[in-house]
Structures are given as C-alpha cells and as structure tokens.
Amino acid sequence: MKKISKELYKSYFFIISIFFISYIGLLYFFISYIIKDTDTDILSINSFIRYEVGEFEKKLSLGKSWDELFYGALEECPKMPNTFVIFKHNNNVYTLDYIDNILTKLEDSKFSDQVQRKKFFTRRDVNGNLEINISKFLLFNLPDFQYLNREFKIPNQEPIQILIIKKLSQEKRILLRIFRISIILISITTFLSIVISKRFYRDFTSSLTRLQDITNKINLVNLNKNIKSKNKFIEFDNITNSYNQMLERLKEQTEAQIDFVNNASHELKTPIFIINSYVNMIKRWGFERKDLVDESLTAIYEETNNMANLVTKLLFLAKDDSNSLEISKIDILMLFEEIKQHFKVIYPEQTINIFSESFFIYSDRYLFKQLLFNLVENAIKYGSGKIINIRVELDKILKIEIVDNGIGISNEDLEHIYDRFFRVDKGRSRKLGSHGLGLSIVKKICTLLKIDISIESEIGKGTKVTLSIPINNTFLS
C-alpha cells in the first residue's frame, strides 16, 4: 500500500525534475546556438581575409609594404564584438588589439580549416598557484575562445599565419548569471512545492480523517443520521453527498429487511400456533374423541403444507438465480394447458379459456411456468369464481394477457402489489392461503427473464395482467 503523502511528494519532485531537465535542454540549445553563430561570424571574416590575402601579391608588385597590407586588411575587416584578427609574418605580429594573453594561450594550436575551441578549467591566483574555476564546469561545453588558425602562402614569400579569435567571456557571464538565477528559482520552487504539498496533504487528510471518523460511528441505530462535514474540496463534498445517499438506501433496505423478517415471523407464528393448539387438544382428548383427532390431523396437514409453501417462496425470494438459468424451447400453448389441468383438479368449477396459437419461446421453463402459475392462481383466488380469459398474441412483441372478472384492486393498492407480504384484503387473503408473496415472486421472475409486466385493475370489475416479451434472436414464434 502507498501513502498519499509520499506519492504527492514524488509527483512534485517529478514535475520539478521535468522542469530542470527541460531547462538543461534549453541551456544546451542556447549554448549550441552561440557556438554555431560564432562559427558563422569567424567563417565570414575568414572569407573576407582570404580575398584580401589573395590580393597581396598584386599589391606587393605595386610597391606596397607588408605593414600597409596587413593594417589595411585589418582596417577593412568586418568588426564584431570581442572578435580579433591577427596576422603573423616573419616573426612579426599585426593586430589592432592588444591580446598577448590570448596569443599565449593559443601557442600550441595547430593549423586547421575548421573553427576550433579552447576552454580552460583552471586559473592562477595572485601567488601563481593553479585553482579550479568551478564556473567553467557549470557552463558545460561553452568554450572560452573559438578561433580559426590558418596559413596562407604567397609565391616567393614567407607563409602568412592568420588567427581569427572570438572571445566568449560576455556570453559566459550571461549564461552564468542565468544559471545562478535558475538555481535560486529552482530552490525557491522546490521549497514552495514542499510547503504547498504539506499544506495540501494536511487539508486533504483532515477531510479524509473526518469522513473516516464519521464512517466508524455509523451503525444500524443511526443510519438515518445525515452526515455533515466541512470540506475544502468539492470532491469530498461529492463523496459526502454520495455517502448520505448510500446511507439513505441502506436505511430503506434495512427497514425493508426488518419488515420482511417481522412479516415472515408473523406468517410462521400463525400455523405454528394452530398446530400447537391441535396437538394439545389431541393430548387432552385424543384418546376419547376420534372425530377430534381426524379434525386435528387434517388441520395440522393443511397448516404444514401452508408453512412448506411459505418457506419455499421465502427461499426463492432470497436466492439469486440470475446465473443459473436453463434456457430451452417452450410451447406456450402447451404450458398453459398443463397449468389449466393442474388447477382443474383443485378448482373443478373454475372456467379458464385459452385463446392462443402455437407460439414458441426460448427461456427458462421452470421459472416461466412458475410465473404463469402464480398469475393464474391469483386470478382464480381473487376472480370470485368467474371466467378467466387468457390470450396470447404476436405483434412486434409477444403479448400474454390474463384477465379475471373478480374483486379488482384499488389504485392506491396497485402501488404496493409487488411489496412482500402485501395483501389487498388481509382477512380474505388469509382464508385463501395467500401470504402476499406471489406478485413479489412474479416481479423477480420477470426481472430475471427480462419480461415487462403491467397490471390494470378496477374495484368490482376485475384485473388484467399483461406480459410483454420482446422478439429478438432469443425468442422464436
């Protein structure tokens, strides 16, 4: 695991390093530019001198002296700052500037057609001792001098040595000042970066610590507590808002789970109480009254089935079946006929009409059958014994309608029909063996199978349930 403070410092130093490297690159570029520009100046003067020396033979034949020739050329030579031109002939030196110190340093230089460079890393103190000139190192490869040392020959005359020297002391002073100022600025920037990063980290961690403290204090008792925290960063405000919304959702889910457990406990208490009562009756009078035993066993059997049915439904709602679907080809008409035959045994007086052609879909047969079973069972239980019509049509989508003509559902109750343990008429639902879980299961199955469900109802006129199944490469007709 990494600490934010260390990563923050690394980021700042990384940025400073990039800046410093960029600065060094620019410095190198500037030095290269100075060197190339100086080369160009020296070569331009060399071109002029070469032309002038080429005229010396002709001018000597006209009676010109060497002094006149050399000083005339020096006078006409292009003038450039800190640039010196020197002629050497017959051990005589001709120049317009006093530069003995430069000549001394260039005594060992060789003739060349290329511009040469000279750099000195040492100097002598007042006592004549050598000492290192650190500033020369700091200026990288910028030389003290750039020069061109050439030799020209005139027929029947002594060779002429020409030295064109460019002294770079002024450029070195400018670069050294820039370098020193840059070092100061980089040092100040580094210091300020550390101060700013520490301040930012302090503000950042304080907000994070406050949020952590609040999180540690949250429990089921104070889920409804709204988190209020003063932050300097809008991101933390966004996190706090998201956290409050999460707590609100958790509160709603927790309350729903508590209600679910309470309702489930209540639903299980009733059959347990009935079974316990009949067991006590059998213990007291079972050996004397056979009719009481038969009545008790029948009631216990019914309540046991009722409990088994309730537990099955609770387990189904608790499971996540999204990853265990078994897709197969389903004949919808045949499936409705199976369901119709099943209910005919239980409700022999109930009339169920099915209007459908032979449609096929690909889906999970068990879940799809349970979906239709629950809807038809609801229609029978609340249909007041009247005819139930089931219609299957295909038009862009596969539509299944289950219509009863029973007691209906009010608009107020329609908003809660998918809630677990919700029953429109609790007294009557209990008599019908309903736990208020059927439509919760229906809604979950529709979500798993990606089926849209809508329910329309009116008090005293009945209810219509519509299933809409999209037709794509998954569904066939």
Domain boundaries, the chain: 4-189, 234-317, 325-470
* Matching residue, tokens 């750099």: 119
User: What confidence category does residue 232 fall into, taking pLDDT thresholds of 50, 70 and 90?
Assistant: low
Taking only the tens place, the pLDDT of each residue in 237-264 is 777 777 777 777 777 777 666 666 665 6
Q: 39-48, 91-100, 248-257, 261-270: lowest mean pLDDT where?
A: 261-270
Highest average pLDDT, of 86-95, 290-299, 341-350, comes from 86-95
Q: What is the dihedral of CA 328, 332, 334, 339, to 10 degrees?
A: 100
Q: 213-227, 289-303, 366-380: lowest mean pLDDT where?
A: 213-227
Highest average pLDDT, of 173-187, 193-207, 416-430, comes from 173-187
Residue 447, pLDDT score? 83
394 strand-pairing partners: 398
Under CATH, what is the fold of the domain 234-317? Answer: Helix Hairpins (1.10.287)
Taking only the tens place, the pLDDT of each residue in 113-149 is 888 887 754 454 445 444 444 444 445 567 778 888 8
Cβ count within 10 A of residue 39: 16
Question: Rounded CA gap, 338 and 329, in Å?
Answer: 16
The residue-averaged pLDDT of 407-422 equals: 70
Residue 135, pLDDT score? 45
Q: What is the DSSP string of 35-70?
A: HHHHHHHHHHHHHHHHHHHHTHHHHHHTT--HHHHH
Superfamily name and number for 325-470? Histidine kinase-like ATPase, C-terminal domain (3.30.565.10)
Q: Residue 403: which residues within 8 A CB-CB, separation 6 or more?
A: 379, 388, 389, 390, 391, 462, 463, 464, 465
Token couple for 164? 């064109």
Longest dimension (CA), the chain: 166
Assign 228 to helix, strand or coil: coil
User: What confidence category does residue 268 fall into, taking pLDDT thresholds of 50, 70 and 90?
Assistant: low
Q: Could you tell me if 122 and 83 are in contact, meaning their C-beta atoms sit under 8 angstroms apart?
A: no
Long-range contacts of 88-93 (CB under 8 A, 24+ apart): 88/160, 88/161, 88/162, 88/163, 89/158, 89/159, 89/160, 89/161, 90/66, 90/158, 92/66
Q: Residue 359: which residues within 8 A CB-CB, separation 6 or more?
A: 331, 332, 333, 392, 394, 398, 477
Closest CA to 139 of 123, 122, 121: 121
Question: Rounded CA gap, 70 and 86, in Å?
Answer: 9
Residue 389, pLDDT score? 93
Cβ count within 10 A of residue 472: 8
User: In terms of C-beta density within 10 A (0-12 exposed, 13-18 middle, 19 or more buried), how is residue 379 classed?
Assistant: buried
User: What confidence category does residue 310 fall into, taking pLDDT thresholds of 50, 70 and 90?
Assistant: low
What are residue 93's phi and psi, to 5 degrees? -115, 130
Closest CA to 210 of 232, 188, 225: 232
The more confident residue out of 331 and 342 is 331
Residue 428, pLDDT score? 42
Q: What is residue 360's DSSP assignment?
A: E
Alpha-helical segments (H) within 286-325: 290-318
Taking only the tens place, the pLDDT of each residue in 182-213 is 888 878 877 887 787 777 777 777 777 777 77
Considering the entire predicted model, what is its pTM?
0.43
Assign 467 to helix, strand or coil: strand
234-317 shares its CATH topology with 325-470: no
